[in-house]
């Protein structure tokens, strides 16, 4: 099973292209290659504002 380790440059460009190639095909078939491109999305940041305390019957706007 292939293992891929991303480096900081991969993450900063947000794009990685991998070429997968058969290296020992059985029989008379030749080696083949294919390319897959992976888009890396930056982590999301969520901010719901400052902490607030309300009572059960209060309305928060």
- The pLDDT tens digits of the residues spanning 29-47 come to 888 899 999 998 888 899 9
For the chain, where are the alpha helices, taking DSSP H only? 8-13
Q: How much is the pTM?
A: 0.50
Burial (CB count <10 Å: 0-12, 13-18, 19+), residue 16: middle
pLDDT, residue 3, reads: 78
Please state, rounded to an integer, the average pLDDT across all residues of the chain: 85
pLDDT, residue 39, reads: 92
């Amino acid at each position: 099973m292939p293992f891929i380790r991303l480096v900081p440059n991969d993450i900063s460009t947000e794009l990685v292209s991998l070429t997968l190639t058969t290296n020992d095909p059985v029989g008379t078939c030749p080696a083949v290659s294919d390319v897959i491109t992976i888009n890396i999305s930056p982590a999301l940041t969520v901010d719901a504002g400052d902490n607030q305390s309300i009572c059960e019957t209060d309305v928060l706007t």
